[in-house]
Structure 1
Amino acid sequence: MPYSLFACRIRLTSVIVFLLLTAITPTFADDRSGTIDGLKTLDDHFPFHVPETVDGWHERAAQLRTRVQVATGLHPMPSRPPVEATIHSLVKKDGFTIEKVFFESMPGHYVTGLLFRPADSNGSPTASKRPGVLCPHGHGGRMMRHDTKTINALIASGDELYVASGSTAKLARCAQLARMGCVAFIFDMVGYADSVQLSYEFAHRRHTPRACEIVPGKNAPWHFFSTPADARLQSLMGLQTFNAVRSLDFLETLPDVDANRLAVTGGSGGGTQTILLGALDSRVRVSFPNGMVSTSMQGGCACENCCLLRIGTGNVELAALMAPRPMAMTAADDWTQDMMTDGYPELKRIYGMLGVPGNVFCEPLLQFKHNYNYVTRRVMYGWMNRHLGLGLDEPIVETDFESITDDEGAVWNDRYPAPSVRDEQHEREVLTWWDEQNRELLENALGSKATSTEFNRLVRPALEVLFDVEMPASDQVRIELDKSQRIGRDHSMQSGVVVDRTTGRSIPVQTISSAGADSTKQRRADRPDVVWINTHHDESVSTYDKLPNDIRDHVESGHRVWIVGTPEKNDPSVDATIASKQPMNPQPRRASAAFTFGYNRPLAVRRCGDILAVIAVAVESSGSQVNLISTSGAAAFALPAAAIAGSTVADANIAVDRFRFGDLRHQDDAEFVPGIVKYGDVDALAAWRAPHRLKVTGDREGQYPTARQIYSELGSENQLRIE
């Protein structure tokens, strides 16, 4: 789709939805910029804030790599046995050859593509092996062919040089790389060319949910884009990323390929895949992600988005995970147009800090629209020549070749027929295998076989991505309270808000204490403040007799009680939004939760952050640990808050009442958190709290095998109570 139409559609959708929902949606801050903004859409601004030190960058980079792994569903990485590829139907061209390839990236799911080799290579091991270049093609498909009118216009504008090769521009770079002495593999994105098991419309033109995505029951099969799939971080983007990793596996093991000289280059959607491979896979030694390294539009297709991926980050920072390895790109008259002043300087700073300033480059080609045209390819050829050690004279001029016909590019034929299992049946098979892999790989991290070592290695880092909030420092929160007023005979109450500057949220609170209670920090240490999460208040507590008995008991015993509301509860229209299952986050959703939760924290995570902010204020005010109590309906954010707070909370009493994230049927449920079912649901959140004191009420003891195991192993089994 032309960029101008594409961008207009996204921006129009964003504006319409924003105008409809802004009035009912709480705002929050971009954590890293410190400014209060509306909720993010893919078309917003994603600045890269470079850390001050190399150590700071290494710490940030490690966090981001974990985020990419978790978000794409590849933490832990599914099984990758040796690739058993079928390579067939050699086609000879001037200076290069083409062979057709298919292999299973996972049982029953096939990756297809074309393998380009230099004409003098027969695929056998040689004394001097050749670099391998992986070429994700991007939208349009590897066999995309310009018609006569289009190619003539591209030649006239300077985008292309030749009618024949320029008509199939995605193949042109593979042919030229082979002529330069590389082995190049261009593989199909899901739904394009010979990747026929999932349709193009399903993968790249989603606008409305399918009936099969509405899962009727807890144990029913699910499909991509459904709530159970997102709760397990099973996404189309994750599938494509795994296909790319497996394609690199295939390329690496070819007998004529030098596994120490692997490169990746793709444009547009292929540029997105190139960014992710550079972030995930250290085997990538040289990268040229074109058309998507930008602080602006982040990728408009469902195949370029998954939940959690770009929360607090964006494509430029994700691309920086390639550092210090060589990476180059171009800027064009599209969403990359500001790269020379916003994005590229930050990349240069990172590479300079790492001592390799020459390993990053961006060429401004603003005279061209969104492209991977001849001029851009020429920049790429020089980059690959220098950093893959090809030793060729520059400039490298791409030469024409006879057009590659559709038959020459077709992988499936009478001898090798296309797979017959497709569409919804194939989805179920892929998702079932993926889920079984996760269960097997997490077997020693979750459940009755869990060990603290495996839990800390696999589950804890994932939970830190899912609930990526922390207790703010004392100088990042403040409390604004009204004057104290008397309620009941001997009790005082104050109402107000806790303002969390890290998120921009104002959390309604009330404090209630005995009028004669000693308020000094020193004398309150044996009577810790109690933070009470009250999810059922339709109005503020105005009389003492409205308090539950256990809360009144705490007040009578000399504890100060902080009653915590939620910002959304102050607006009845938000309650109506939740009840009607309308999205809490204004996004151009386009039938995928990833357009919301790929850029914004879920409501439950934001509420978790609210609790931590109130705990921080209570600790600062009292000078000691606090206790945490939650009523029914708060488990989704109270349990992770107790875990994150750690020893700051002396005793956590959480009413779970048999709540399970896995029972949710809609991504717009207020409690929905992507990925939490994969990583153990409430059982894992309870285990995350270990070894600190935790009481779970309204549930069955046998439903917490992970928590029991972890607490027991740490010698803290008496700190966990389930009633």
Structure 2
Amino acid sequence: MKARLLLPCLLLLTASASGMDNARPMRDLNGYFPFTPVADAAAWQERRAEIEKRVLLANGLWPMPEKTPLKATIHGRVERDDYTIDRVFFESLPGHYVTGSLYLPKKHSGKIPAILCPHGHWPNGRFMDEGAGSAVVKKQIETGAEERESAARSPLQARCVHLARMGCAAFHYDTLGNADSIQFPLHRHGAGQAGFLSPQADLRLQTYLGLHTWNSVRALDFLLSLEGIDPDRIGCTGASGGGTQTMMITGIDPRIKAAFPCVMVSTAMQGGCTCENGHYLRIGQGNVDIAALTAPRPLGITAADDWTKELATKGLPDLKDLYAKLGVPDKVTAHIATQFPHNYNLPSRLAMYEFFNQHFQLGQKSPIQERDFTFSTKADMTVWTAEHPAPTGNAVGEAHEKAVCDWMTAQDEKNITALIQKDDTTALRNIVGEAWKTIVGRPQPTPQEVAYEMVKKEEKADHFIVQGRIQNTRDEETLHAVFLYPKNWQGEATLWLSLKGSDSVLTAAGPTPAAQKLLDQGIAIACPDLYLRGMTEQPKAGDNLKAKANDFREFSGYTFGYNPTLLARRVHDAMTMLTMMQSQEKYPVKQLKIHGLEGAGPIALVTGTVLALDGVTADLEGFRFADLKSSWDVNFVPGAVKYGDVDALLKLTKE
């Protein structure tokens, strides 16, 4: 579409990478992430869609990949008094196994509820065993965190055992690199070059978080494939990293009917592991917003003496207010027990049992109490046996990791590259255009949100030169630009984007030859000094600042999960400039073009894409995102290759 923009009264500005330009803050996982309130239920639906899309994109699941056959294997049943434990493995994608234990009640009638049970960073995961008679076990009992040795040895087992005793199926599945999940390194510590934590993977949004969440989607598929499972009573609960995963799967999959994430819903620390961080995930939102995706479905949460300790006053009131606005105030509850450290201990589990008993109508007498159980060892639970040998060779380690990335890349080619080849711009805009809107992360400011201050004005023989300062008051950002205005102007203007900034159009001797050519044609030029002009790499945040060689903290998601990329910030500048050019009705522009050159070609294309503008020209000088070798290159944008690289942008900004 042709965009009718308006030229501001001789505005545009000069600048440098110093001054207020540098005041844009960098956030990290230890920041403050308050809930964004909404006015009413209708406003929540709009806000909810924004949060969900961001969660999907951050997990690499916008759009969803193909669901391939699970090829589930259930074997080696262990008989207990009133429940059974089956060993399970299935393929979440070809050749990649999800492994776990399926707990089932022995006695039940009709269809039964099912609870997904992801776990967090507990020692040895599903095989957790603090040891009979150990000091850890004794302390848990002495402090009231547990009552019985079996549960103190593994609160993870205790949860699943009692859910089965309450009449539920409980599927306790491994996170990557834990227990029987041996195909991946244990949350790889250090950057790779072909697999996860590499620039190539980041450019395609291939992350541990995303694979975890996809495994959860397929775990839900597995549960619903079982005979006798009630699809109207599917729940999910986990603590710590399992709480994060509970929020992820519940937020994007409506098949989850109730959720109980523990010790992760917080306005403070958002999750420290690579499996809890994804690019763009917590820009403009945090864990309270993500947990709110559960609404209006039942939501239970817990707090302890950790980063959730202020939940009662920060987060919970917002969730209660939201549920009240949605007309279901009784569907959100919290168990606050800040006398205990980070946990999924007995008091927390008892709260969870009551929650599912109420919302899934399990018919259990309240108050619910746990009973002792026979502790299951690794030998009792491992899915890999002589009859079902563990993966080996290229099915494990970096070869397998690369194979998983290759499969994900093939999915992108099927879902996105094919649209480019078909020239299906409508579908491309619905997928790629919407993705870039999320990556850029904000709408264009309104005229009321932009202020201009003239710094200097000079009159020349055939043109004016105006320098000034533009403030985006909504986002508290300032930029500078220069404006060249021909005296014979007839209504045509160009937003000139260059990494050289105003030096690209104006020198001490006057306009550059390229700028003079436009002035001779009666075309006005607006040229901003884009954010952090002259930077040779992107600024880092949080854990990335602490990273050493072969350190998991090299993962760029610790910066770009909380902050826009430098390219996105420069697109913000371009959008602010366009608002200025729209906001002066006295100087209507009959034709506007955006021209990107001297390193700013991609910025012009992205600006045109997110604002659905044509009239965009870009001198790319052979640039492709796929050629970038460093996550800190000034043009690095996680997901840019996934979403069709510059080819898709060119399709969406063509005349």
**1:586 equivalent in alignment to 2:541:** yes
Listed as ranges, the matches of 1:677-696 within 5 Å are 677-689=641-653, 694=654
Is contact 1:27-1:39 (8 Å) kept? no
Task: Give the whole-Å Cα distance in 2 for the aligned partners of 1:99 and 1:261.
Answer: 21
Task: Indicate the SS of the match to 1:674.
Answer: coil
Task: Give the whole-Å Cα distance in 2 for the aligned partners of 1:537 and 1:599.
Answer: 27
Q: Which position in structure 1 is the counterpart of 2:6?
A: none
Deviation of the 1:644 alpha carbon: 3.2
In structure 2, which of residues 568, 571, 575 is the aligned counterpart of residue 608 of structure 1? 571
Moved more, 454-463 or 671-680: 454-463
Aligned AA (2:344): Y
Deviation of the 1:542 alpha carbon: 5.8
Would you say how many aligned residue pairs link Structure 1 and Structure 2?
A: 622
Is contact 2:505-2:512 (8 Å) kept? no
Task: Give the whole-Å Cα distance in 1 for the aligned partners of 2:72 and 2:261.
Answer: 26
Task: Give the whole-Å Cα distance in 2 for the aligned partners of 1:615 and 1:496.
Answer: 15
Q: Which position in structure 1 is the counterpart of 2:127?
A: 143
In structure 1, which of residues 141, 162, 165 is the aligned counterpart of residue 148 of structure 2? 162
In structure 2, which of residues 582, 597, 609 is the aligned counterpart of residue 643 of structure 1? 609
Q: Which position in structure 2 is the counterpart of 1:700?
A: none
Q: Which position in structure 2 is the counterpart of 1:433?
A: 407
Task: Give the whole-Å Cα distance in 2 for the aligned partners of 1:430 and 1:540.
Answer: 44
Task: Give the whole-Å Cα distance in 1 for the aligned partners of 2:543 and 2:105.
Answer: 45
Aligned AA (1:629): H
Task: Give the whole-Å Cα distance in 2 for the aligned partners of 1:24 and 1:40.
Answer: 17
Is contact 1:445-1:458 (8 Å) kept? no
Q: Which position in structure 1 is the counterpart of 2:491?
A: 527
In the superposition, relative to structure 1, how do residues 106 and 512 fare at CA in structure 2: closer, same or farther (>3 Å)?
same
In the superposition, relative to structure 1, how do residues 539 and 440 fare at CA in structure 2: closer, same or farther (>3 Å)?
closer
Task: Indicate the SS of the match to 1:245.
Answer: helix
Q: Deviations over 1:495-554 (max 9, x none)?
A: 22211123322212012224x45xxxxxx6x42333212322585866474533342133
In the superposition, relative to structure 1, how do residues 266 and 527 fare at CA in structure 2: closer, same or farther (>3 Å)?
same
Task: Give the whole-Å Cα distance in 2 for the aligned partners of 1:623 and 1:224.
Answer: 50
Listed as ranges, the matches of 1:6-21 within 5 Å are none
Listed as ranges, the matches of 1:637-676 within 5 Å are 637-646=603-612, 651-676=615-640
Task: Give the whole-Å Cα distance in 2 for the aligned partners of 1:199 and 1:653.
Answer: 45
TM-score normalised by the chain length of structure 2: 0.91
**1:26 equivalent in alignment to 2:10:** no
Q: Which position in structure 2 is the counterpart of 1:697?
A: none
Q: Which position in structure 2 is the counterpart of 1:480?
A: 453
In the superposition, relative to structure 1, how do residues 541 and 104 fare at CA in structure 2: closer, same or farther (>3 Å)?
closer
Is contact 1:505-1:567 (8 Å) kept? no
Q: Deviations over 1:91-120 (max 9, x none)?
A: 122221111111111111111110111133
Gaps of 5+ in 1: 1-21, 29-37, 214-221, 518-523, 695-718
Q: Which position in structure 2 is the counterpart of 1:14?
A: none
Deviation of the 1:556 alpha carbon: 3.4
Listed as ranges, the matches of 1:66-81 within 5 Å are 66-81=53-68
Task: Give the whole-Å Cα distance in 2 for the aligned partners of 1:241 and 1:639.
Answer: 31
Is contact 2:59-2:213 (8 Å) kept? yes
Task: Give the whole-Å Cα distance in 2 for the aligned partners of 1:98 and 1:559.
Answer: 75
Deviation of the 1:460 alpha carbon: 2.2
Gaps of 5+ in 2: 1-17, 545-552
Q: Which position in structure 1 is the counterpart of 2:207?
A: 235
In structure 2, which of residues 42, 45, 50 is the aligned counterpart of residue 63 of structure 1? 50
Q: Deviations over 1:225-261 (max 9, x none)?
A: 1111111111111111111111111111111211221
Q: Deviations over 1:596-623 (max 9, x none)?
A: 1111110001101101101111222333
Q: Which position in structure 1 is the counterpart of 2:549?
A: none
Task: Give the whole-Å Cα distance in 2 for the aligned partners of 1:682 and 1:282.
Answer: 34
Q: Deviations over 1:54-75 (max 9, x none)?
A: 1111011112211111111112
Q: Deviations over 1:339-398 (max 9, x none)?
A: 111101111111111111111111211111111000000000000101111011101001
Listed as ranges, the matches of 1:553-632 within 5 Å are 553-569=517-533, 575=535, 578=536, 581=537, 583-589=538-544, 590-621=553-584, 622-624=587-589, 626-632=592-598
Task: Indicate the SS of the match to 1:266.
Answer: strand
In the superposition, relative to structure 1, how do residues 183 and 387 fare at CA in structure 2: closer, same or farther (>3 Å)?
same
Moved more, 623-632 or 45-54: 623-632
Deviation of the 1:594 alpha carbon: 0.6
Deviation of the 1:654 alpha carbon: 2.0
Q: Which position in structure 1 is the counterpart of 2:425?
A: 452
Is contact 1:444-1:454 (8 Å) kept? no
RMSD: 2.1
Moved more, 235-244 or 635-644: 635-644
Q: Which position in structure 1 is the counterpart of 2:78?
A: 91
Is contact 2:150-2:158 (8 Å) kept? no
Task: Indicate the SS of the match to 1:492.
Answer: strand
Task: Give the whole-Å Cα distance in 2 for the aligned partners of 1:601 and 1:263.
Answer: 34
Aligned AA (1:169): P
Task: Give the whole-Å Cα distance in 1 for the aligned partners of 2:261 and 2:501.
Answer: 51
In structure 1, which of residues 509, 512, 519 is the aligned counterpart of residue 481 of structure 2? 509
Q: Deviations over 1:464-497 (max 9, x none)?
A: 22222332100111122213124x5443322222
Moved more, 321-330 or 145-154: 145-154
In structure 2, which of residues 26, 40, 53 is the aligned counterpart of residue 53 of structure 1? 40
In the superposition, relative to structure 1, how do residues 493 and 382 fare at CA in structure 2: closer, same or farther (>3 Å)?
same
Is contact 1:471-1:644 (8 Å) kept? no
Aligned AA (1:663): D
In the superposition, relative to structure 1, how do residues 639 and 407 fare at CA in structure 2: closer, same or farther (>3 Å)?
same
In structure 2, which of residues 101, 107, 111 is the aligned counterpart of residue 120 of structure 1? 107
Task: Give the whole-Å Cα distance in 1 for the aligned partners of 2:208 and 2:21.
Answer: 29
Question: Higher relative contact order at CA 8 Å, sep ≥6: structure 1 or structure 2?
Answer: 2
In structure 1, which of residues 451, 463, 467 is the aligned counterpart of residue 440 of structure 2? 467
In structure 2, which of residues 113, 116, 138 is the aligned counterpart of residue 131 of structure 1? 113
Is contact 2:458-2:464 (8 Å) kept? yes
Q: Deviations over 1:195-214 (max 9, x none)?
A: 00112151xxx2x43xx42x
Listed as ranges, the matches of 1:700-719 within 5 Å are 719=655
In structure 2, which of residues 325, 332, 339 is the aligned counterpart of residue 360 of structure 1? 332
Task: Indicate the SS of the match to 1:367.
Answer: coil
Q: Deviations over 1:420-440 (max 9, x none)?
A: 021110111111111112211
Q: Which position in structure 2 is the counterpart of 1:217?
A: none
Is contact 1:660-1:682 (8 Å) kept? yes
Is contact 1:529-1:618 (8 Å) kept? no
Is contact 1:197-1:426 (8 Å) kept? yes
Q: Which position in structure 1 is the counterpart of 2:178?
A: 192
Deviation of the 1:187 alpha carbon: 0.2
Task: Give the whole-Å Cα distance in 2 for the aligned partners of 1:453 and 1:656.
Answer: 24
Is contact 1:640-1:685 (8 Å) kept? yes
Moved more, 666-675 or 82-91: 82-91
Moved more, 263-272 or 52-61: 52-61
Task: Give the whole-Å Cα distance in 1 for the aligned partners of 2:609 and 2:382.
Answer: 54
Q: Which position in structure 2 is the counterpart of 1:41?
A: 28
In the superposition, relative to structure 1, how do residues 644 and 404 fare at CA in structure 2: closer, same or farther (>3 Å)?
closer
Q: Deviations over 1:168-221 (max 9, x none)?
A: 11110000000000010100000000000112151xxx2x43xx42xxxxxxxx
Task: Indicate the SS of the match to 1:419.
Answer: coil
Q: Which position in structure 2 is the counterpart of 1:320?
A: 292
Task: Indicate the SS of the match to 1:483.
Answer: strand
Moved more, 460-469 or 51-60: 460-469
Task: Give the whole-Å Cα distance in 1 for the aligned partners of 2:646 and 2:437.
Answer: 14
